[in-house]
Structure 1
Amino acid sequence: MGTKAKPVIFVASDSAGDTGEAAVRAAAVQFDPQHVEIRRVPFLHDTSDIDRLIRHVVERSGAIVFTLVLPELRDYLIQECERTGVTYIDLLGPIIRLLEHTLNQEARHEPGMIHRLDEDYFKKVEAVEFAVKYDDGRDFNGVLQADIVLVGVSRTSKTPLSMYLAHKTFKVANVPLVPEIAPPEQLFTVSRNKIVGLRIDPLKLNAIRTERLKALGLPGNATYANTERINKELEFADKIMKRIGCEVIDVSNRAVEETASLIIDLFRSR
């Protein structure tokens, strides 16, 4: 008996298809990702492109998720899906119609608008460059210029958080807290409202650091992952955070995206 072929989800778009693929992948993580094949079909321009897509989908017994903003293409694709019995989901159509009704105006129906080089794009680029420049306490002047300052011991996701928040246009500096090194004075001169402390469970940190050492080909019992050393670092970090009086978030069982969302909500509420 041959191996059963994976079901294929074709992600079709009259632009790059990023939105549709992101939505499908977000849903696919609720299953075994290896059981689903996601195939992007970007930049559909006319009905012949759609005819070609439908043939591929039928051949693979697949389904289509699409983000078409051109009404004539969207209508044609739906027509052909229904004619051939292909299962489909129109991601943007219902939302566009809802907004047209709510705003009482017609949509522009222009593909690719989300990727245009607008002001927000340049802010994002500037924020990413800032995060790289002021990562891991390379230059403490970043503390004074940042929108958000992250502090915490090593392996509390300071760098990934900085980059994630940068893509949300926040300028972020991060400062490691190490017992042997006095924290920069800038942490105590700027407003505590722009500083966020990152706390983590010692057992969780031990596991993360042990895996990190293994990945580097180093023994897992090195001082870096030593329980006594970890507790010393965490106690020191707690003292500094209390002295600053900043907001503290426990990142022990949180994904970077979840922690970032908490930070964004915190700053927007202010």
Structure 2
Amino acid sequence: MREKEVVYVVSDSVGETAELMVKAVASQFNGGEVEIEHVSNVEEIKDIEHVIYVSKGTNSIIAYTLVIPALKEYLDKRAEEEGILAIDLMSSLMEAFSQKFNKLPKRQPRLIRKLDANYFRRVEAVEFAVKYDDGQDVRGIERADIVLIGVSRTSKTPLSMYLAHKRFKVANVPLVPEVRPPDELFKVSKNKCVGLVITPDKLNEIRKQRLKNLGLSVAKYADLDRILEELEYAEKIMKRIGCPIINVSDKAVEETADLLLAMLKKRGVGNRE
């Protein structure tokens, strides 16, 4: 009977990187029929002694991603003493990075998990911005890190998405004279609410272009008197809330975001960068 082929995946983190590499290699040999045993979150010498013990005298390989030098050196030494094949999956590439880019590795385990956490927070924030865009669900007002308010075409949605990519959960609420603002808007902390305003002429220009893109020529939406009415109403709501106000007339989304975050930082809204 053929002896079982085993690869012990040893890592000072969860070990997904090492497992993926082992599977990629194994797939080149008879469809990847090899057993993978995990030895994760290695932090002490006794953890290494355990994998040496279970792999000794077996038809196995140790594939490891250990970034702490003392643990790596100990595993290399013990594997050589016991005649076990141990493969370091990271050192060659880290040495290449160091030589080519003139940088030193941090040698800290689990850093990739931190990067993954940031990625998933960003995805969550983008999903939040979509769900609570344009006042679709007032529950977003209480759950948001930042609440944007303003009349139509003041960059609320693109600003929400831009901030979401910086891992802020943003809800935005349109202000329309005929529609009573949600009660939640006056209950939420003014420290995380920001009003967006724009000059009447600029808004008139933007709305006319919007109508043109839609194939419409005449609409109250772009009427200057209507715009003045909306802006006056919106500013009354913003003053009632007591939130800071940003004029977005000649600002790019990035510029508005930087200004907004600087203002909110003073009010205690934490930076996600």
* Structure 2 stretches lacking a partner, 5+ long: 1-92, 269-273
2:263 to 228, 244, 266: 266
- Please list, as runs of the form range in 1=range in 2, the aligned pairs for 1:65-84 lying within 5 A after superposition: 72=96
**Distance apart, 1:268 and its partner CA:** 2.7
Distance 2:229 2:116 in 1: 47
1:177 to 171, 175, 184: 175
Q: Structure 1 residues 73 and 146, CA, compared in 2 at 3 Å: closer, same or farther? A: closer
**Does residue 226 of the first structure (1) align with residue 213 of the second (2)?**
no
RMSD of the alignment, in Å?
A: 2.5
Q: Structure 1 residues 143 and 74, CA, compared in 2 at 3 Å: closer, same or farther? A: same
Q: Which amino acid aligns with 2:170?
A: V
Q: Residues 75-102 of structure 1, C-alpha deviation per residue, up to 9 Å, x if partnerless?
A: 78xxxxxxxxxxxxxxxx4xx65xxxxx
Q: Which amino acid aligns with 1:266?
A: M
**Does residue 167 of the first structure (1) align with residue 165 of the second (2)?**
yes
**Distance apart, 1:107 and its partner CA:** 2.8
2:121 to 116, 120, 123: 123
- Secondary structure class of the residue paired with 1:217: coil
**Does residue 247 of the first structure (1) align with residue 244 of the second (2)?**
yes
2:190 to 181, 192, 197: 192
- Secondary structure class of the residue paired with 2:168: coil
Distance 1:214 1:187 in 2: 33
- Secondary structure class of the residue paired with 1:175: strand
Q: Which amino acid aligns with 1:138?
A: Q
Distance 1:196 1:137 in 2: 14
Q: Structure 1 residues 73 and 211, CA, compared in 2 at 3 Å: closer, same or farther? A: same
Which of structures 1 and 2 has the bigger CA Rg? 2
Distance 2:172 2:263 in 1: 17
- Secondary structure class of the residue paired with 2:118: helix
Distance 2:156 2:112 in 1: 28
Q: Structure 1 residues 227 and 117, CA, compared in 2 at 3 Å: closer, same or farther? A: same
Q: Residues 223-254 of structure 1, C-alpha deviation per residue, up to 9 Å, x if partnerless?
A: 11000000000000010000000010000000
Q: Residues 135-172 of structure 1, C-alpha deviation per residue, up to 9 Å, x if partnerless?
A: 00001111011000000000000000000000000000
Distance 1:204 1:243 in 2: 25
Report % sequence identity: 60
**Distance apart, 1:265 and its partner CA:** 1.8
Q: Structure 1 residues 73 and 194, CA, compared in 2 at 3 Å: closer, same or farther? A: closer
Q: Which amino acid aligns with 1:238?
A: E
- Please list, as runs of the form range in 1=range in 2, the aligned pairs for 1:1-270 lying within 5 A after superposition: 72=96, 93=101, 97=103, 106-107=104-105, 118-219=116-217, 221-269=218-266, 270=268
Q: Which amino acid aligns with 2:249?
A: S
Distance 1:208 1:255 in 2: 14
Distance 1:198 1:114 in 2: 38
Distance 2:173 2:225 in 1: 22
Q: Residues 101-131 of structure 1, C-alpha deviation per residue, up to 9 Å, x if partnerless?
A: xxxxx2369xxx9998511111111101110
TM-score of the aligned structures, taking structure 2 as reference length: 0.58
Aligned length: 173
**Distance apart, 1:73 and its partner CA:** 8.0
Q: Structure 1 residues 217 and 195, CA, compared in 2 at 3 Å: closer, same or farther? A: same
- Secondary structure class of the residue paired with 2:234: helix
**Distance apart, 1:263 and its partner CA:** 1.4
Distance 1:252 1:115 in 2: 41
Distance 2:254 2:186 in 1: 28
Distance 2:132 2:99 in 1: 49
Q: Which amino acid aligns with 1:174?
A: N
Distance 2:94 2:210 in 1: 48
Distance 2:254 2:98 in 1: 33
Q: Which amino acid aligns with 1:206?
A: N
Q: Paired residue for 1:79?
A: none
* Structure 1 stretches lacking a partner, 5+ long: 1-68, 77-92, 98-105
Q: Which amino acid aligns with 1:176?
A: P
